[in-house]
Amino acid sequence: MIEKVYGAIELGGTKIFGIIAKDRSNILTRLILPTKLPEQSIQELTTFFKEGSHELGVDLQSLGIGCFGPLDLNAHSKTFGYVTSTTKPGWKFTDIKGVFENELQIPIFLDTDVNASALGEFSNLLDQNIESFAYLTIGTGIGGGFIINGKLVHGLVHPEFGHIQISHDKNIDPFAGNCLYHGDCFEGLASGPALEERWNIPPKHLPENHPGWDLEAEYISSALMNLLCTISPQKIILGGGVMHQAHLFRRIHKKTKRLMNSYIKSKYLDSLISELITPPTLKDDSGIIGALELAIRGLQK
């Protein structure tokens, strides 16, 4: 009997990851490529899946894709499954879902990169009964993926958590924010590029004792307070390049607790806050494992 396997793609702005896997513990083959123009990247990927499954003698059931956005995920739309108004050269209004469907003739399950990462991290939790789960990425951009009542949240479009408004005291921090759309939204104040613009140094070179990190933790905590008051998550995972600074976690635990000011009574907002807000468990694999979950769960529906 030919073995049933699944394909997964993490399509990033600079790098592309692909895998063929039986499940998350049985990855049969991997691919890493720089992101090129769409025709070329898609060609390289379809070749990988066609030749890979042929060489392995396996049967590809479905493909999950976590992709940079914005994406059109409205099934009733003409451009359903497209990357839409991206600034990435050559990729504007590129059909992703349709092209892979045509090439591979299997079901394709597409979602945003941050939703894929959220699903990857969620699927790796010990407690699968969590009703409200949040994954945030804080890096070049800021994004959020939420799993509520067992499913990723889409709604009107998809969450754009980086663009929420948070408290910004211009007397303490005169930096106007660098979001092209909203100035001092969360992303405009706290993304990697915002840190670099404010302090004139790449965040990874900003010393641990620099006051910029306390300010950063303040903004992240303010966003987490809003998240806690809105969807009341039982688990919040913070990933992305900025969060590689491990010292940020203890600052965030302290400040989030202080901001909540015991209004909501829960041991997870008090003594166990370091269990509520944690780093990713899959590290750099959240996205690709999440894309694999999209492929597997998509078929179960």
Backbone angle region of 126, left / alpha / beta, with phi > 0 → left and psi within -120 to 50 → alpha: alpha
Beta bridge partners of 108: 63
Among 8-16, 110-118, 158-166, 245-253, the segment contacting its own copies (CB under 8 A): 158-166
Q: Does 244 bind its own copies (CB under 8 A)?
A: no
**Is 85:92 a contact under the CB 8 Å cutoff?**
yes
In angstroms and rounded to an integer, the radius of gyration of the C-alpha atoms of the chain is 20
CB of 223 to its own copies, least distance (A): 9
Q: Are 194 and 206 in contact (CB under 8 A)?
A: no
Q: In the range 96-135, which residues lie near its own copies by CB under 8 A?
A: 131-132
Among the residue ranges 89-97, 110-118, 151-159, 247-255, the one whose residues contact its own copies (CB under 8 A)? 151-159
Least gap, CB of 184 to its own copies (angstroms): 8
Hey, which residues between 63 and 92 contact its own copies (CB under 8 A)? 70, 84-85
Strand stretches in the chain, DSSP E: 3-11, 15-23, 26-34, 58-67, 82-83, 94-95, 108-112, 132-138, 142-148, 151-152, 235-239, 277-278
- Which parts of 172-201 interact with its own copies (CB under 8 A)? 181-182
Q: How far is CA 122 from the centre of its chain?
A: 12
Residue 274 interacts with its own copies (CB under 8 A): yes or no: no
Residue 140 touches its own copies, criterion: CB under 8 A: no
**Can you read off the two tokens belonging to residue 99?**
């092209």
- The window from 29-37, 38-46, 160-168, 197-205 that contacts its own copies (CB under 8 A) reads 160-168
3-state SS class at 247: helix
Q: Which region, judged by CB under 8 A, interacts with its own copies, from 90-98, 107-115, 119-127, 148-156?
A: 148-156
C-alpha closest to that of 203 among 242, 233, 174: 242
Q: Which is nearer to its own copies, 32 or 229 (CB)?
A: 229
Question: What gap in Å lies between CA 298 and CA 291, rounded to an integer?
Answer: 10
Q: How far is the CB of 15 from its own copies (least distance, A)?
A: 26
Asked if residue 164 binds its own copies (CB under 8 A), the reply is yes
Q: What residue ranges bind its own copies (CB under 8 A)?
A: 70, 84-85, 131-132, 144, 146, 148-151, 153-168, 181-182, 222, 225-234, 259, 261-266, 268-269, 276
